[in-house]
Structure 1
Amino acid sequence: MSENKAPMYRRFLNARSPLRLLEKGLHGGLGRGNLGLVLAARGVGKTSFLVGVAMDDLLRGEPVLHVSLDHTVSHVRDYYDTVFDALAKSTHLENAATVHAEADRLRRIRAYPASEFDARRLDEALALESEAGGKIALVVIDGFDPATRHRKEIEDLRELAQRKEME
Protein backbone atom coordinates (compact mmCIF):
# COMPACT_ATOMS: atom_id res chain seq x y z
CA MET A 1 0.00 0.00 0.00
CA SER A 2 1.43 3.39 -0.94
CA GLU A 3 1.75 6.26 1.53
CA ASN A 4 -1.18 8.00 -0.19
CA LYS A 5 -3.49 5.03 0.34
CA ALA A 6 -2.54 4.42 3.97
CA PRO A 7 -4.66 7.29 5.36
CA MET A 8 -7.63 6.17 3.24
CA TYR A 9 -7.34 2.60 4.57
CA ARG A 10 -7.17 3.92 8.14
CA ARG A 11 -10.31 5.97 7.46
CA PHE A 12 -11.98 2.77 6.23
CA LEU A 13 -10.96 0.95 9.44
CA ASN A 14 -12.13 3.87 11.52
CA ALA A 15 -15.52 3.97 9.79
CA ARG A 16 -16.00 0.29 10.67
CA SER A 17 -14.97 0.74 14.31
CA PRO A 18 -17.47 -0.49 16.92
CA LEU A 19 -17.18 2.99 18.42
CA ARG A 20 -19.28 4.32 15.53
CA LEU A 21 -22.21 2.39 17.08
CA LEU A 22 -21.56 4.02 20.43
CA GLU A 23 -21.36 7.44 18.80
CA LYS A 24 -24.61 6.79 16.98
CA GLY A 25 -26.29 5.96 20.30
CA LEU A 26 -24.92 9.21 21.73
CA HIS A 27 -26.12 11.17 18.68
CA GLY A 28 -22.61 11.91 17.42
CA GLY A 29 -20.45 11.07 20.40
CA LEU A 30 -19.59 12.89 23.60
CA GLY A 31 -18.42 16.05 21.90
CA ARG A 32 -15.64 18.37 22.95
CA GLY A 33 -15.79 19.51 26.56
CA ASN A 34 -17.75 16.51 27.82
CA LEU A 35 -16.76 13.62 30.05
CA GLY A 36 -17.56 9.97 29.50
CA LEU A 37 -17.35 7.41 32.26
CA VAL A 38 -16.79 3.66 31.97
CA LEU A 39 -17.80 1.81 35.13
CA ALA A 40 -17.28 -1.90 35.63
CA ALA A 41 -15.90 -4.34 38.16
CA ARG A 42 -12.17 -4.88 38.41
CA GLY A 43 -10.70 -7.15 35.75
CA VAL A 44 -13.43 -7.00 33.10
CA GLY A 45 -11.49 -5.01 30.51
CA LYS A 46 -11.92 -1.30 31.17
CA THR A 47 -8.29 -0.57 30.28
CA SER A 48 -8.56 -2.51 27.02
CA PHE A 49 -11.78 -0.66 26.17
CA LEU A 50 -10.20 2.72 26.91
CA VAL A 51 -7.15 1.82 24.82
CA GLY A 52 -9.54 0.93 21.98
CA VAL A 53 -11.21 4.34 22.32
CA ALA A 54 -7.82 6.03 22.27
CA MET A 55 -6.64 3.92 19.31
CA ASP A 56 -9.70 5.06 17.38
CA ASP A 57 -8.60 8.70 17.75
CA LEU A 58 -4.95 7.88 17.11
CA LEU A 59 -5.81 6.21 13.79
CA ARG A 60 -7.64 9.42 12.83
CA GLY A 61 -4.45 11.38 13.53
CA GLU A 62 -5.69 12.89 16.80
CA PRO A 63 -3.25 13.29 19.72
CA VAL A 64 -4.21 11.36 22.85
CA LEU A 65 -3.08 11.60 26.48
CA HIS A 66 -3.58 8.38 28.46
CA VAL A 67 -3.37 8.92 32.22
CA SER A 68 -3.08 5.75 34.27
CA LEU A 69 -3.75 5.65 37.98
CA ASP A 70 -3.39 1.84 38.17
CA HIS A 71 -0.54 0.84 35.85
CA THR A 72 2.98 1.85 34.89
CA VAL A 73 3.72 3.55 31.59
CA SER A 74 5.30 0.38 30.19
CA HIS A 75 2.25 -1.67 31.19
CA VAL A 76 -0.09 0.76 29.41
CA ARG A 77 2.20 0.78 26.36
CA ASP A 78 1.92 -3.02 26.28
CA TYR A 79 -1.89 -2.69 26.20
CA TYR A 80 -1.62 -0.38 23.19
CA ASP A 81 0.76 -2.76 21.42
CA THR A 82 -1.57 -5.71 22.05
CA VAL A 83 -4.66 -3.85 20.81
CA PHE A 84 -2.83 -2.54 17.75
CA ASP A 85 -1.36 -5.95 16.89
CA ALA A 86 -4.81 -7.57 17.11
CA LEU A 87 -6.30 -4.84 14.92
CA ALA A 88 -3.52 -5.07 12.35
CA LYS A 89 -3.82 -8.86 12.19
CA SER A 90 -7.62 -9.00 12.00
CA THR A 91 -7.80 -6.33 9.28
CA HIS A 92 -4.69 -7.44 7.37
CA LEU A 93 -3.32 -3.92 7.77
CA GLU A 94 -0.54 -3.22 5.30
CA ASN A 95 2.39 -1.07 6.45
CA ALA A 96 1.41 -1.91 10.01
CA ALA A 97 4.80 -0.84 11.35
CA THR A 98 4.43 2.62 9.79
CA VAL A 99 0.87 3.05 11.05
CA HIS A 100 1.95 1.85 14.51
CA ALA A 101 4.82 4.35 14.57
CA GLU A 102 2.46 7.18 13.58
CA ALA A 103 0.04 6.23 16.36
CA ASP A 104 2.89 6.01 18.89
CA ARG A 105 4.05 9.49 17.89
CA LEU A 106 0.60 10.91 18.71
CA ARG A 107 0.17 9.03 22.00
CA ARG A 108 1.29 10.31 25.38
CA ILE A 109 1.15 8.18 28.52
CA ARG A 110 1.47 9.43 32.08
CA ALA A 111 1.17 7.43 35.29
CA TYR A 112 0.30 8.90 38.69
CA PRO A 113 -0.60 7.45 42.06
CA ALA A 114 -4.39 7.77 42.32
CA SER A 115 -4.08 9.76 45.55
CA GLU A 116 -1.96 12.41 43.80
CA PHE A 117 -4.09 12.90 40.69
CA ASP A 118 -6.56 15.74 40.25
CA ALA A 119 -7.61 18.33 37.66
CA ARG A 120 -4.65 20.55 38.55
CA ARG A 121 -2.22 17.72 37.83
CA LEU A 122 -3.96 17.01 34.51
CA ASP A 123 -3.88 20.71 33.61
CA GLU A 124 -0.11 20.74 34.25
CA ALA A 125 0.37 17.71 31.98
CA LEU A 126 -1.71 19.37 29.25
CA ALA A 127 0.32 22.58 29.60
CA LEU A 128 3.53 20.60 29.11
CA GLU A 129 2.09 18.97 25.99
CA SER A 130 1.01 22.37 24.68
CA GLU A 131 4.49 23.82 25.25
CA ALA A 132 5.92 20.89 23.31
CA GLY A 133 3.68 21.84 20.39
CA GLY A 134 0.83 19.38 20.80
CA LYS A 135 -2.84 20.01 21.48
CA ILE A 136 -4.40 16.92 22.99
CA ALA A 137 -7.79 15.99 21.51
CA LEU A 138 -8.67 13.11 23.85
CA VAL A 139 -7.74 12.41 27.45
CA VAL A 140 -8.24 8.91 28.82
CA ILE A 141 -8.05 8.59 32.60
CA ASP A 142 -7.71 4.95 33.54
CA GLY A 143 -8.25 3.85 37.14
CA PHE A 144 -10.24 6.89 38.26
CA ASP A 145 -12.77 5.72 40.84
CA PRO A 146 -15.56 8.30 41.19
CA ALA A 147 -16.81 6.54 44.34
CA THR A 148 -13.64 7.59 46.16
CA ARG A 149 -13.67 11.18 44.88
CA HIS A 150 -15.49 14.31 45.94
CA ARG A 151 -18.03 15.72 43.52
CA LYS A 152 -15.90 18.88 43.20
CA GLU A 153 -13.00 16.84 41.78
CA ILE A 154 -15.21 15.50 39.01
CA GLU A 155 -16.62 18.97 38.36
CA ASP A 156 -13.05 20.33 38.13
CA LEU A 157 -12.20 17.69 35.51
CA ARG A 158 -15.32 18.57 33.55
CA GLU A 159 -14.50 22.29 33.67
CA LEU A 160 -10.98 21.52 32.43
CA ALA A 161 -12.35 19.43 29.55
CA GLN A 162 -14.64 22.30 28.59
CA ARG A 163 -11.93 24.92 28.85
CA LYS A 164 -9.48 22.85 26.78
CA GLU A 165 -12.21 21.65 24.36
CA MET A 166 -11.28 17.99 24.83
CA GLU A 167 -13.21 14.78 25.17
Structure 2
Amino acid sequence: MLKKDLMIKNPLRQLVDESEKILSDGEFGVVLARAGVGKTAFIVQIALSGLLQNKNVLHISLDEPVQKVSLWYEEVFRMISDKYDSATVQNLWETILTHRFIMTFQVDAFSVPKLDERISDLTEQAIFFPQIILIDGLAFADVPTDIISSLRPLARQWGVQVWFTARIHRTEISTEVVGSAQPSGEVLDLFDTAIQLEPEENRVHVRIIKGPKTKTASPDLLLDPSTMLIVDK
Protein backbone atom coordinates (compact mmCIF):
# COMPACT_ATOMS: atom_id res chain seq x y z
CA MET A 1 0.00 0.00 0.00
CA LEU A 2 2.77 2.44 0.95
CA LYS A 3 4.74 1.67 -2.19
CA LYS A 4 1.65 2.17 -4.36
CA ASP A 5 0.81 5.47 -2.65
CA LEU A 6 4.33 6.82 -3.13
CA MET A 7 4.28 5.85 -6.81
CA ILE A 8 0.88 7.47 -7.40
CA LYS A 9 1.90 10.69 -5.63
CA ASN A 10 5.30 10.86 -7.31
CA PRO A 11 5.52 14.22 -9.18
CA LEU A 12 7.90 12.62 -11.69
CA ARG A 13 4.84 10.87 -13.18
CA GLN A 14 4.25 14.16 -15.01
CA LEU A 15 7.39 13.51 -17.04
CA VAL A 16 6.52 10.06 -18.41
CA ASP A 17 5.59 9.47 -22.04
CA GLU A 18 2.85 7.24 -23.45
CA SER A 19 4.91 4.15 -22.53
CA GLU A 20 4.92 5.30 -18.87
CA LYS A 21 8.68 5.96 -19.00
CA ILE A 22 10.92 9.01 -18.95
CA LEU A 23 13.71 7.03 -20.62
CA SER A 24 13.67 3.76 -22.54
CA ASP A 25 16.37 1.11 -22.24
CA GLY A 26 19.57 2.20 -23.98
CA GLU A 27 18.67 5.90 -23.76
CA PHE A 28 20.54 8.71 -22.02
CA GLY A 29 19.07 11.44 -19.84
CA VAL A 30 20.78 14.36 -18.16
CA VAL A 31 19.96 16.71 -15.29
CA LEU A 32 21.71 20.04 -15.90
CA ALA A 33 22.28 22.81 -13.39
CA ARG A 34 24.84 25.11 -11.92
CA ALA A 35 26.68 24.02 -8.77
CA GLY A 36 24.57 23.77 -5.62
CA VAL A 37 21.16 23.92 -7.30
CA GLY A 38 20.03 20.35 -6.51
CA LYS A 39 21.22 17.93 -9.20
CA THR A 40 22.06 15.10 -6.79
CA ALA A 41 18.77 15.46 -4.89
CA PHE A 42 16.87 15.37 -8.18
CA ILE A 43 18.65 12.31 -9.52
CA VAL A 44 18.20 10.48 -6.20
CA GLN A 45 14.45 11.00 -6.62
CA ILE A 46 14.68 9.54 -10.13
CA ALA A 47 16.49 6.58 -8.56
CA LEU A 48 13.88 6.15 -5.81
CA SER A 49 11.15 6.20 -8.45
CA GLY A 50 12.90 3.27 -10.13
CA LEU A 51 13.49 1.45 -6.84
CA LEU A 52 9.79 1.67 -6.00
CA GLN A 53 9.15 -0.12 -9.31
CA ASN A 54 11.58 -2.89 -8.27
CA LYS A 55 14.22 -1.71 -10.74
CA ASN A 56 17.88 -2.33 -9.94
CA VAL A 57 19.62 1.04 -9.66
CA LEU A 58 23.39 1.48 -9.89
CA HIS A 59 24.43 4.90 -8.54
CA ILE A 60 27.93 5.95 -9.62
CA SER A 61 29.31 8.92 -7.71
CA LEU A 62 32.38 10.75 -9.00
CA ASP A 63 32.78 13.21 -6.16
CA GLU A 64 31.12 11.83 -3.02
CA PRO A 65 31.89 8.81 -0.78
CA VAL A 66 29.43 5.94 -0.46
CA GLN A 67 28.30 7.05 3.01
CA LYS A 68 27.30 10.52 1.80
CA VAL A 69 25.40 9.13 -1.19
CA SER A 70 23.60 6.67 1.11
CA LEU A 71 22.61 9.55 3.37
CA TRP A 72 21.05 11.39 0.41
CA TYR A 73 18.83 8.38 -0.30
CA GLU A 74 17.81 7.92 3.31
CA GLU A 75 16.99 11.60 3.86
CA VAL A 76 14.95 11.91 0.65
CA PHE A 77 13.09 8.66 1.32
CA ARG A 78 12.26 9.70 4.89
CA MET A 79 10.90 13.03 3.68
CA ILE A 80 8.63 11.55 1.00
CA SER A 81 7.29 8.93 3.43
CA ASP A 82 7.12 10.92 6.68
CA LYS A 83 3.31 10.80 6.91
CA TYR A 84 3.18 7.00 7.01
CA ASP A 85 3.59 4.43 9.78
CA SER A 86 7.27 4.24 10.73
CA ALA A 87 7.40 0.42 10.84
CA THR A 88 5.89 0.20 7.36
CA VAL A 89 8.31 2.83 6.08
CA GLN A 90 11.27 0.94 7.56
CA ASN A 91 10.14 -2.35 5.99
CA LEU A 92 9.82 -0.73 2.56
CA TRP A 93 13.19 0.99 2.96
CA GLU A 94 14.91 -2.31 3.72
CA THR A 95 13.20 -3.91 0.72
CA ILE A 96 14.19 -1.29 -1.84
CA LEU A 97 17.79 -1.18 -0.58
CA THR A 98 18.30 -4.65 -2.03
CA HIS A 99 17.78 -3.09 -5.48
CA ARG A 100 20.42 -0.36 -5.05
CA PHE A 101 24.19 -0.50 -5.48
CA ILE A 102 26.53 2.48 -4.99
CA MET A 103 29.86 2.66 -6.81
CA THR A 104 32.45 5.43 -6.54
CA PHE A 105 35.22 6.69 -8.82
CA GLN A 106 37.64 9.57 -8.62
CA VAL A 107 36.66 11.99 -11.38
CA ASP A 108 40.05 11.83 -13.08
CA ALA A 109 40.08 8.02 -12.88
CA PHE A 110 36.66 7.52 -14.48
CA SER A 111 36.60 5.92 -17.92
CA VAL A 112 34.20 3.76 -19.90
CA PRO A 113 36.56 0.72 -19.98
CA LYS A 114 36.91 0.87 -16.18
CA LEU A 115 33.15 1.15 -15.77
CA ASP A 116 32.62 -1.78 -18.14
CA GLU A 117 35.10 -3.85 -16.14
CA ARG A 118 33.45 -3.10 -12.80
CA ILE A 119 29.92 -3.74 -14.05
CA SER A 120 31.09 -6.99 -15.66
CA ASP A 121 32.55 -8.04 -12.30
CA LEU A 122 29.15 -7.48 -10.68
CA THR A 123 27.10 -9.29 -13.32
CA GLU A 124 29.47 -12.22 -13.91
CA GLN A 125 29.42 -13.01 -10.19
CA ALA A 126 25.62 -12.53 -10.08
CA ILE A 127 26.07 -9.81 -7.46
CA PHE A 128 24.02 -7.09 -9.17
CA PHE A 129 22.33 -6.61 -12.54
CA PRO A 130 21.63 -2.89 -13.10
CA GLN A 131 18.57 -1.70 -15.00
CA ILE A 132 19.08 2.02 -14.33
CA ILE A 133 22.52 3.64 -14.07
CA LEU A 134 23.10 7.09 -12.58
CA ILE A 135 26.42 8.86 -13.12
CA ASP A 136 26.66 11.83 -10.77
CA GLY A 137 29.46 14.38 -10.82
CA LEU A 138 30.60 14.94 -14.40
CA ALA A 139 31.64 18.48 -15.30
CA PHE A 140 30.85 18.61 -18.98
CA ALA A 141 33.29 21.40 -19.67
CA ASP A 142 36.08 18.97 -18.77
CA VAL A 143 34.72 15.73 -20.24
CA PRO A 144 35.31 14.82 -23.89
CA THR A 145 32.16 13.84 -25.74
CA ASP A 146 33.75 10.53 -26.76
CA ILE A 147 33.28 9.28 -23.17
CA ILE A 148 29.54 9.72 -23.54
CA SER A 149 29.49 8.38 -27.11
CA SER A 150 31.48 5.25 -26.24
CA LEU A 151 29.08 4.46 -23.39
CA ARG A 152 26.05 4.31 -25.71
CA PRO A 153 26.69 0.88 -27.27
CA LEU A 154 27.37 -0.54 -23.81
CA ALA A 155 24.10 0.91 -22.48
CA ARG A 156 22.26 -0.82 -25.33
CA GLN A 157 24.18 -4.04 -24.68
CA TRP A 158 23.34 -3.94 -20.98
CA GLY A 159 19.74 -2.87 -21.69
CA VAL A 160 19.89 -0.02 -19.18
CA GLN A 161 18.68 3.55 -18.89
CA VAL A 162 21.52 5.95 -18.06
CA TRP A 163 21.07 9.25 -16.22
CA PHE A 164 23.82 11.83 -15.78
CA THR A 165 24.09 14.97 -13.75
CA ALA A 166 26.03 17.73 -15.44
CA ARG A 167 27.39 20.84 -13.80
CA ILE A 168 27.16 23.77 -16.18
CA HIS A 169 28.40 27.32 -15.82
CA ARG A 170 26.84 30.57 -16.93
CA THR A 171 29.32 30.69 -19.80
CA GLU A 172 27.99 27.34 -21.06
CA ILE A 173 24.40 28.58 -21.18
CA SER A 174 22.89 30.05 -24.30
CA THR A 175 19.95 32.47 -24.15
CA GLU A 176 18.91 32.05 -27.76
CA VAL A 177 15.44 30.93 -26.67
CA VAL A 178 13.56 34.01 -25.53
CA GLY A 179 12.84 33.95 -21.81
CA SER A 180 14.87 30.82 -21.16
CA ALA A 181 18.50 30.02 -20.50
CA GLN A 182 19.39 26.72 -22.17
CA PRO A 183 22.61 24.77 -22.66
CA SER A 184 24.13 24.79 -26.12
CA GLY A 185 23.02 22.27 -28.74
CA GLU A 186 26.40 20.55 -28.57
CA VAL A 187 25.65 19.39 -25.02
CA LEU A 188 22.03 18.47 -25.74
CA ASP A 189 22.96 16.37 -28.78
CA LEU A 190 24.55 13.81 -26.44
CA PHE A 191 21.24 12.94 -24.77
CA ASP A 192 17.73 11.71 -25.54
CA THR A 193 16.19 13.64 -22.64
CA ALA A 194 17.51 16.75 -20.89
CA ILE A 195 16.11 18.36 -17.75
CA GLN A 196 17.41 21.69 -16.52
CA LEU A 197 17.09 22.98 -12.95
CA GLU A 198 16.76 26.72 -13.25
CA PRO A 199 16.80 28.83 -10.05
CA GLU A 200 14.58 31.88 -9.89
CA GLU A 201 14.37 33.87 -6.64
CA ASN A 202 13.25 31.41 -3.92
CA ARG A 203 12.37 28.46 -6.16
CA VAL A 204 13.95 26.15 -8.71
CA HIS A 205 12.07 25.41 -11.94
CA VAL A 206 12.26 21.94 -13.50
CA ARG A 207 12.46 22.49 -17.27
CA ILE A 208 12.28 19.72 -19.86
CA ILE A 209 14.44 21.12 -22.63
CA LYS A 210 14.71 17.95 -24.70
CA GLY A 211 12.80 14.69 -24.76
CA PRO A 212 9.76 12.78 -26.00
CA LYS A 213 6.25 14.14 -25.66
CA THR A 214 4.98 13.65 -22.11
CA LYS A 215 1.49 12.42 -21.21
CA THR A 216 1.01 15.64 -19.23
CA ALA A 217 0.67 18.45 -21.76
CA SER A 218 2.79 20.95 -19.83
CA PRO A 219 4.62 19.41 -16.86
CA ASP A 220 4.88 22.08 -14.17
CA LEU A 221 7.34 21.05 -11.49
CA LEU A 222 9.57 22.79 -8.98
CA LEU A 223 12.42 21.72 -6.74
CA ASP A 224 11.65 22.99 -3.24
CA PRO A 225 14.91 24.64 -2.05
CA SER A 226 14.08 23.97 1.61
CA THR A 227 13.74 20.19 1.20
CA MET A 228 15.18 19.56 -2.29
CA LEU A 229 12.02 17.54 -3.04
CA ILE A 230 10.31 17.68 -6.43
CA VAL A 231 6.85 19.23 -6.04
CA ASP A 232 3.93 20.25 -8.23
CA LYS A 233 3.68 24.00 -8.78
TM-score bucket (shorter structure): 0.7 to 0.9
Of 23, 29, 46, the match for 1:36: 29
Structure-to-structure mapping, 1:1-167, within 5 angstroms: 8-24=1-17, 28-90=21-83, 95-133=88-126, 134-167=128-161
Cα distance 1:107–1:160, how it changes in 2: closer, same or farther (>3 A)?
Answer: same
- Report the Cα distance in structure 1 between the residues aligned to 2:117 and 2:13, rounded to whole angstroms: 31
- Report the Cα distance in structure 2 between the residues aligned to 1:27 and 1:51, rounded to whole angstroms: 19
- Report the Cα distance in structure 2 between the residues aligned to 1:85 and 1:27, rounded to whole angstroms: 25
Q: What is the CA distance between 1:91 and its match in structure 2?
A: 5.2
Gaps of 5+ in 2: 162-233
> Which residue identity lines up with residue 109 of structure 1 in the other structure?
I
State which structure, 1 or 2, has the greater radius of gyration over its C-alpha atoms.
2
Q: Is the 8 A contact 1:146 1:154 kept in 2?
A: no
SS in 2 for 1:161: helix
TM-score, structure 2 length as denominator?
0.64
**Which digits, 9 at most, give the CA deviation of each residue in 1:44-89, with x for residues without a partner?**
1100111111111111111111000110110000101101111110
Cα distance 1:145–1:27, how it changes in 2: closer, same or farther (>3 A)?
Answer: farther
Cα distance 1:15–1:129, how it changes in 2: closer, same or farther (>3 A)?
Answer: farther
> Which residue identity lines up with residue 144 of structure 1 in the other structure?
L
Q: What is the CA distance between 1:125 and its match in structure 2?
A: 2.3
Q: Cα RMSD between the aligned structures?
A: 2.0
Alignment length, in residue pairs? 160
Q: What is the CA distance between 1:126 and its match in structure 2?
A: 1.6
Q: What is the CA distance between 1:32 and its match in structure 2?
A: 0.3
| Structure holding more strand per residue | 2
SS in 1 for 2:28: coil
Identity %: 31
Gaps of 5+ in 1: 1-7
**Which digits, 9 at most, give the CA deviation of each residue in 1:8-51, with x for residues without a partner?**
43133213211111123997421000110111011111001111
Partner residue of 2:199? none
- Report the Cα distance in structure 2 between the residues aligned to 1:116 and 1:107, rounded to whole angstroms: 23
Q: Is the 8 A contact 1:129 1:136 kept in 2?
A: no
TM-score, structure 1 length as denominator?
0.87
| Structure holding more helix per residue | 1
SS in 1 for 2:141: helix
Q: Is the 8 A contact 1:119 1:153 kept in 2?
A: yes
